[in-house]
Structure formats: C-alpha cells, structure tokens
Structure 1
C-alpha cells in the first residue's frame, strides 16, 4: 500500500536521515513537496505517471534506506545529537537573526487588475519598484503599465483601450523606454495602435518574453494563447486585422529544445501555450492534447479548462531567477495565509502574496519580521512579473531609471 503524506512525515521523523545517501538536502526536498499546495496534475502525469511514477519514487526511497528506519526511532539523546534532525529548527533560527545583515536587492513587480465588460476581460497594469531605503525595503517608484528590464535598458508595456462601452477592445503596445533608441513619452503616445475588435492581456513578463491571452470581442470565451518576444509584441500592435494564424509567436518545441532538459513528447506543432504562475514558480502550460488532434487545429481557440501544466521546466532565459530559498513550511510559519512567494537571489528579500496584500520582509535581518512592507492589492489583482537585480552596482541605476520611466519629470523627459 502506498504511504500517504501523513505516513511519509512520520517516517521522516523516525531516525537518522544520512544513511545510504539520504541526506538533509533530500529530506528538505521531500518536505517541500509535501508542504507545497496541491496543483492540477500535468499533462504528462495524466498520460502514464500516476502509478508508475509513484512506484518509481518509492523504489528510490527504499534504495536510499528508508526501509532501515526503526520503530520507535532513536533515543532523545541521539535525536539531539543528530545534525540532520536539527536542520529545520536550525533553518528557522537563521531567519530574522542576523544583526549585521545588509539588504541590497531590487524587485520590479508587475501587477494586473481585471474587470469584466460585457463578458470580456479588460485589464489595467502597474509596476512597483521595491528597493532598499534607509535600511529597509520600500516602494521607491510606482506607476501605470509594466516596466521590464531587457538587456541593458528598460521597456514599457501599456494597454490601449478603444471602442464604446459594451464593445471595448484592448491592445498591448510596447516600446523601449530608456537608453539609446528609446522613445520619448510624447512619441510613445503617438505609437499607432489599431482597433481590430480584439482583447489581449498579459499572464507573464520576464527577460525578453511575454505571455499573452487574446480573444475576439465577439467571442470572449474562445481564447488564443501566445508567447512572444517583446519585439514581436511591439510590432503586432499595428496589426490591421486580427487573424490568429498571422500572430507572431514562439513555438513551445523551440523553447524546450533550447533548454537543458530533453524535449518531452508534447503535441506536435504546439503553436499556442502560456507561461502562468503556480504557487512558487512560473511554469509552461498548453492545451491538453486530444486523440486525433492534428496540426490544422494548432491555431484554434480553447478555453481555460483545457489548459494544463507541462512537466518540463522553462529555460532560465525565459523566467530569470525563480527559486525559493526557504521552504514552504518556513514561509507559512511567517505568514500562515501565504498563497505565493518570491525570494531574491541575494536571499535578503521575501515577498509573500496573500489574498489582499503582498508582505515584504528582510528575512535575514534581526527583527525583520516585526515590520514588513505591506502592499495592498486590488480585488483579484495578480502578479505577472517579478524581476530582480542582485548586483549592488546596479541598484542605484535601476532606482533612478525606473523612477524616471514610471514618474517622468520635465528633466527626465529631455534625457
């Protein structure tokens, strides 16, 4: 009989974990998996990993020596002396305990707020810069639209709404906002955007790439999903008509071939796919393959229920830094209502998403738990971008450049 989560936790607590290679790192990974909220099964899980995968995992655990654990386990003295059994307590003790901890990370956070208009979803966006200020984290700049770092500069994405009430359409436009080749705010305002009876919104922004959901105004439930380069998004704003087969995009197969892992057996000609947020990470998702589906269906719309996660991880060039440096059990001890979280590459910032706010902690800093930065979220507002700079030499540049884009002054507009 396969053990459930409760039985696995009991096994994990019974004895030394360093036997036959079952070390503290593996224990932490198992605990994290047990703590992580349940997700909808991936497509690959649905097509054959339900039983075989579990059996394989249990076989590996047996190989690592779980079978050697004894009941009732080690004595209290041995438990106290075992470093592996003390790990969780030690890790918890390290949080908010360093009197000399320095904070030096900057987080660019992109948020999307939706409202419904005659069955269509119309969105607004804002960007927040969270950066060190007077020894604490603070929102040092904020403004409408999404400001994303790309190469050595920043680009801005704006939602342009047109049409009458009841027939609103919305198109995304993008442009380089600073550096050589940047457009001025006046030039950005004059960028032509065509009203083609279509609504589109962002699900993800990162590095060079964006994930977009589109639908015709007349068919709000028939959705099209694309991943594009930021340059493709910029060029598509001037489309003269909406034809899904003409939308520029990046195919899923091309993305996975560029990664470090082997390409899984995804549906051939996967033109449409998304990058979406699941608790703790960004993940690729696509339409669930159906028997007999051919390449001619690659540009057909589908609904949300057909969207399933893929098991293959995204290459780093798509999602940038996307790693939690502390476990979900630790995060929930800090914020029991946590629904999602982000940690910085420097391991000095923890941003925890709850239902109505984001709480930002300097989680190494002594007493850093006492006064988190609180960012109020609008009803249903979601994170579509989390971009970091961890290099101290870029912190001031990011703060100045992003502030000039989000809150331009006459002086910065002349630069």
Structure 2
C-alpha cells in the first residue's frame, strides 16, 4: 500500500512538471509586443480662445499671434508654434481640476468654463528632455500655458496627413469672456505711506484703482492696510508700540511690539522691516511681531550669506576699513532690512561703519509683484524729479512718486500716457508698501478699503483728479 502511494505521488509530480513546461512553451510563443495605436493627444488642434491670467505680463493684443494657430500630435512628432519634438514620449497624470488651476494660475475652473472634476496633465518629452505640457479637460479640448497666457485648443480631426504650411486651418473665433477682460482691464494699488513727525512716525494707505482705463476715486485710510493670505490686516505705530490686527473678526487680538526711536521701512504679506536707530535693522514676521528678528542666511540660504559677506567686504574696502571677522558676520546676520529705491525693493545691510546695499535679489517670500514695466530712466525723462515708481501688472497705469507728489499716468503700450491724478504729499512722506490687485480682486480690495475708510476719522487726500482730454 505504501509503495502504491509513493508511485502515485511520483507520477503526479512528473505529470505536473511536464504539463507546466508545456504550458510555458505554448504561452512563450504567443507573447508579442503590443502596438500602440493611439496617444493621449492625437491629431490636429487649433487655438480657439486665449485667457490672460494674473501671472501673465501680456496684453490683449499679444493674444492675436496665437489665434488660429495649429498644433499637431502623432507618435512621430509633436508640432506647435514653429517648435517640434521628434519621437515624443507621453506621460499622463490625472489630477483635481480645482487644485490644478488654482495652485498654478489662481483661477477658478468655473471662470474658464471648465466643469470637469478631473483633468489629464500630459507631459511631452523626447528621451530625457522635457518639451511641453498640455492639460486635457475632455476629448475635444486641451489647454497650454504660455507664460501665464492660457491657450485653449479645439480638436479639428484625428488624422495627421498634413503638417503646418501645407494647408490652411479652419477659421476659428477667439472669444474673450468678461472674466478675461476684467483680468487685463482692472488694476488696484495699495500704497503704504510713512510720515515723519516731531515725535515719531504716522502711517496711512492710499487706494489707487483703475477699471477699463478709467481711474476711480482715490481713497485714504489711516494706518497700513495689508492684504495677506489669511485676509486683511491693519498695522500701525502708536507712540513706541508697533501693532497689528486681523480685520477678519471683531474678536481678533492685537499683536504688538514695544519699540523706541523706530520706523517701518517695508511691509509685505508676511514680513515687516524696521529701522531702530538704537538697536539696528530688523525683519520680523507679522504673525509674531514680538519675536526675534530673522537671520539673513536662515531666511535665504548659504548663497545669500555669501552675497551678504561679499557686499559688506566691498563696502568696507571702499572705506579702507579692516576685513570682516566672525563677530562682524554675526552682527550683520541680524542687521538687515528691505528698503525702496528707484522703483525696486532692495536688501540693505548694516555694519558699525555704516549701511550698504546687499547684492542679492529680493526674494519673493518678502515681496510679491515688483516689476517696473517702463525703465526708471525712461520715467525720469518724463518726470525728472521722480524718486520711485510702480507699474501695474496689467500695464495700464503707472504711479510715480516724487518728494512732493504722487502722479498717476496711463500706460500706452510701452509709453507713459496722460496724467490722470496728482496727489500732494506732506513734507517727509515716503512709501513703505506697494501691493497690487488685478481682475476681480480689485472690487474685493476696494470694498475692504471703503469699509475701513468709513470707520476712519481721516479726511480724503488732497487729490486733484484729472480727466483725459
């Protein structure tokens, strides 16, 4: 009986081995490469709409160069706007629509006419070289970002028998929605102003806004009205106390810092820069006004620390002073600030021998939009006594500051247009904040200004409003 069981098991094992080998041999002869018959984006597509986002420096006229332009996608080549990618590789990532458009462009999908909950982000490369990226919302629409300008493509067909230059694309209508027009036609500037008085400094904010090339009434509120991610804050100085308060709730608590002989040199979304004549320069977080001032290298990294050192050494060399030592570096690490000069926010350092400019670009964590579309030298030709200037992201208004006035001009293409307003400054007034809004945010910020203004006892600024002739 035992022998029968052993023989039976042995035969069963041998049978399984032979059957398994046969199955493998049979299947191995059937494994063939699978031909890819379609691609994520395929065929001919034409630009039928352009949207300018807040991050775009283009104007409405710049969109015309893309109207009716055709893109072609195949397994052999991707082609658009005279650029091509041979033997392209496609990678697809499915992502949440709201998160993608808001995180990348600060735009709500609904404002773009997009209702899909998910979109495909298609990345195109050749080998290890990136070529382009498109967002596919549905089978008949893809979107490409071109420096903040969103190009909407509509499918024209799946066949790729001809490439650009061999045929004329079908005519398409370029639509500009009210949302798009608002983005490029509405600008607003919150300009924070410091006034040196006998016993310290006072602060105020001007609201300068323009809609469709028409300047609105310029408003003034007490203290500094600061737009932040968490909502608007009010910041001011009461004798020797620097204070800040969120306007989101009536129960918000004041944050404060006791200072002596100090002034504000800059206010951003998250940080404030101070000059204390006794203690030195400081940069502190608005959320922690009473906290320690931020060390320069910790804020920006090792390359910034090297820029600080080289800038200080150059400054001391010009004064024929000794070389820096570690004590000097420790001192400078905490003695730095942000100041305004000739249309730019710049970094300022301090040694025991004096102040110097730091040859390091002011990081975006400190300042937001800070581009001057028209060169400051060109502005000086029109306004010789200009000391500062602010150009809107939409390139529709220019605010020029002199020692006595604030002048608002229109911008025509790359030229300074007609003057629209002239605001008289008091003696010893200077700018410490410049925050821009565009599109729908102009109305939102304007409502906050009106609300704060109605509660303020300050009078309206001495403004002479000028109409275009």
User: TM-score over 0.5 for the alignment?
Assistant: yes
Partner of residue 251, structure 1:
295
Distance in 1 (CA, whole Å) between partners of 2:383 and 2:419 is 13
- Root mean square deviation of aligned Cα: 2.9
Preserved contact between residue 102 and residue 365 of structure 1 (Cα < 8 Å): no
Matched, 1:183 2:244: no
Q: CA 1:103–1:175 in 2, change beyond 3 Å: closer, same or farther?
A: same
Distance in 2 (CA, whole Å) between partners of 1:278 and 1:213 is 16
Preserved contact between residue 140 and residue 403 of structure 1 (Cα < 8 Å): no
Partner of residue 86, structure 2:
none
Partner of residue 280, structure 2:
224
Preserved contact between residue 224 and residue 272 of structure 1 (Cα < 8 Å): yes
> Match of 2:329, SS?
coil
> Match of 1:143, SS?
strand
Q: CA 1:317–1:265 in 2, change beyond 3 Å: closer, same or farther?
A: closer
Q: CA deviation at 1:367?
A: 11
Matched, 1:405 2:452: yes
Distance in 1 (CA, whole Å) between partners of 2:343 and 2:238 is 31
Distance in 1 (CA, whole Å) between partners of 2:426 and 2:413 is 29
Give matches, 1:324-343, under 5 Å: 324-343=372-391
Higher relative contact order (CA 8 A, sep 6+): 1
Partner of residue 234, structure 2:
156
Runs of 4+ in 1 over 3 A off after TM superposition: 191-194, 365-371
Partner of residue 394, structure 2:
346
1:272 maps to which of 312, 335, 347: 335
Partner of residue 310, structure 1:
358
Give matches, 1:63-82, under 5 Å: none
Q: CA 1:214–1:328 in 2, change beyond 3 Å: closer, same or farther?
A: closer
Partner of residue 378, structure 1:
426
Q: Which structure carries more strand by proportion?
A: 2
Partner of residue 243, structure 1:
none
Once the two structures are superposed, residues 75-129 of structure 1 have per-residue CA deviations (whole angstroms, 9 ceiling, x without a partner) of xxxxxxxxxxxxxxxxxxxxxxxxxx97411100000000234xxxx00011011
List runs of 5+ in structure 2 lacking aligned partners: 1-182, 310-327, 457-469
Distance in 2 (CA, whole Å) between partners of 1:125 and 1:359 is 19
Question: Based on CA coordinates, which of the two structures has the bigger radius of gyration?
Answer: 2
Preserved contact between residue 244 and residue 255 of structure 2 (Cα < 8 Å): no
List runs of 5+ in structure 1 lacking aligned partners: 1-100, 162-169, 216-221, 237-246, 289-301, 410-415
> Match of 1:316, SS?
coil
Preserved contact between residue 103 and residue 362 of structure 1 (Cα < 8 Å): no
TM-score (norm 1): 0.56
1:125 maps to which of 179, 199, 203: 203
Count of residue correspondences: 254
Distance in 2 (CA, whole Å) between partners of 1:377 and 1:228 is 28
Distance in 1 (CA, whole Å) between partners of 2:337 and 2:349 is 6
